[in-house]
A and B are shown apart, each in its own frame.
Chain A
Amino acid sequence: MDFKARLDDFQVLYYPNGAPREFRSDLTFMKPGQAPEQAVCRVNDPVTFGGFTFYQSSYGHTVGLEVKNGDNSLILEAPVGRTVELPGGRAHFRVLEYRPDLVMPGEQGGPGKRLGPAARLAYWEGSNHHPWIIVLLKNRPELADQQPGPYRFFLKDAKFFSVLQVKRDPGVWWVYAGFILLLPGFYLAFLRPTERWALVLRRKPSGGWDARLLGAAPRAREAFQDRLQRLQVILPKGGPA
């Protein structure tokens, strides 16, 4: 690649009923000696630059955490779903889920209770792979005292990451040409099957000609039989076929 691509922003837009309407990544392409070019990449609407096509493939959250161990404090960024090793290498954690706004059902069908940003993570130590599941609420940092182990996790912030699939395939139009070529093939195979005709002429001893018309169409026997029968009726009359 002789250019650079930069992700400026990623957004999820929603319909009024809460269903997702659009996933979009705002990209900037920078090529040396050229003005930067901006483009929007959406699901079903890829962006092509310099022969490469960028597809909106997936997205997720990167969660910002503060991890305290006694007086030591550490700021970490952890993508959802990826295992992160804590300093020292003895303990690991993985953020399982992030919710920008966790809503709990209200009492007796009342309005839901909004708890704000929330994350769920698995934490385990050493080779003992039996994890603890820890729930973090950004607005309730005091709950961290209930966490097991020497570490205390605090949820700070979160941002999106966007996964783009990039492809360079100059052969696409050859494949499409192959697709299109199938159509005349079908036409020849099914709609216009091969036929063979022979006209055998023999001079009669009394003068004049004796004609025999022969035909065969091995791929469409019945349809051909119909035409042959029609011809047998029409031809002796001498009318137009």
Chain B
Amino acid sequence: MTSQILGGVTLAYLIAGLLFLAALLWSAPRVKSFALGLLGGALAAHTLAFFARWVASYDQAAAVAPPADYWAWLQLVIHQVPLSNYYESLVFFSWCLACLTLFFLHRYAETFLGVVGGLLASLTLAYASLGVDSSIKPLMPALKSNWLLIHVITCFLGYAAFGLAFGAGLLYLIQALTSRPKTPGPPLMDRLIYRAAVIGFIFLTLGILTGAVWAETAWGRYWSWDPKETASLITWFIYAALLHARLVRGWQGRPIAWLAVVGFAAVLFTYLGVSFLLPGLHSYLN
């Protein structure tokens, strides 16, 4: 059932993204509010599918080792959060993208954000449904921790915010080449890149810190120079440079947009490249 819901959600994100595009090109406010409703409804269904998978994952684990008391039940529920393999991470990444898009649309009311966010979320979810093994696997001992939930959520909210910054940066650069009158003016786009990068930076930092606390409680080391840790540190430095250049050196516009694009390449390398190419503590893909 979950996969059918997610199929519908994929389609709804795609349509919402295209409607936002139409609203942008022909400045049609009614189309925009319809697209907004569609995006919100799809996000609600996505949330439902997430919890349905959580329940299924819990049921499977409880069949092997039924919890004895309330605390064991709570612990099992937390451990079985559907964030433990590649498929589940993609589904959650898409959810974060849609969620942050709605948040930014609410704050800034900029239609092009809906185009970027809707299309990115739809693309991620389509890839998850078509190209990735979606079966629920029993949880490996290394992931049986209460920190899994908070570590993965913070990291992926960070990735999603960087994804939006990337979308805005890409649009900025394209716009600088072919200045179109209807898309929002560069100063606004520039500010959106910055806001998204700040949110992403805060969440990525939280993700790295929760990871360090988890590593300390599980293995007695904060940092192991695992490939993913190293890659996330490089990503962190790139966005730190972006924020620093803007806040202290006053950089704006094109260099910031380029940094947002380069930073997202580093995010993709952290998320996918390391997992596929460099095995380590974080290789949950196999």
Tell me if B209 is interfacial: C-beta within 8 Å of chain A. Answer: yes
CA distance A57 to B213 in the complex (A): 17
Which of A20, A45, A55, A172 is close to B140, meaning CB atoms less than 8 Å apart? Answer: A20
Question: What string of 1s and 0s marks CB contacts (under 8 Å) between A4-47 and chain B?
Answer: 00000000000111011111000000000000000000111110
Which of A55, A165, A172, A219 is close to B247, meaning CB atoms less than 8 Å apart? Answer: A219
Segment at the B interface, from A83-91, A147-155, A174-182, A229-237? A174-182
Residues of A within 8 A of B217 (CB): 44, 46
* Given A19-B138, A44-B145, also A57-B202 (CB < 8 A): no
Q: Is the CB of A179 within 8 A of B218?
A: no
Q: Is the CB of B141 within 8 A of A44?
A: yes
A125 to chain B, nearest CB (A): 36
CA distance A11 to B198 in the complex (A): 47
Q: Is the CB of B137 within 8 A of A19?
A: yes
Q: Is the CB of A17 within 8 A of B138?
A: yes
Where chain A touches its partner, the secondary structure class is mixed
A-contacting residues, B189-219, CB 8 Å = 191, 198, 201-202, 205, 209, 212-213, 216-219
CA distance A223 to B194 in the complex (A): 11
Q: Is the CB of A19 within 8 A of B140?
A: yes
* Given A167-B220, A182-B205, also A22-B141 (CB < 8 A): yes
CA distance A22 to B145 in the complex (A): 12
Q: Is the CB of B222 within 8 A of A175?
A: yes
Q: Is the CB of B142 within 8 A of A43?
A: yes
Where chain B touches its partner, the secondary structure class is helix
Q: Is the CB of B218 within 8 A of A46?
A: yes
Q: Is the CB of A55 within 8 A of B219?
A: yes
* Given A42-B141, A43-B142, also A190-B218 (CB < 8 A): no
CA distance A67 to B65 in the complex (A): 43
A-contacting residues, B23-51, CB 8 Å = none
A230 to chain B, nearest CB (A): 16
9 pairs of A and B residues whose beta carbons are closest in the complex:
A15-B138, A43-B141, A167-B220, A44-B145, A44-B218, A190-B198, A179-B209, A55-B220, A222-B191
Given A43-B144, A46-B220, A179-B212, 14 additional A-B pairs, CB 8 A: A15-B64, A15-B138, A17-B138, A19-B137, A22-B141, A44-B141, A44-B143, A46-B217, A55-B219, A175-B216, A186-B205, A190-B201, A190-B243, A193-B247
Chain B residues at the A interface, C-beta cutoff of 8 Å: 64-65, 137-138, 140-145, 187, 191, 198, 201-202, 205, 209, 212-213, 216-220, 222, 243, 247
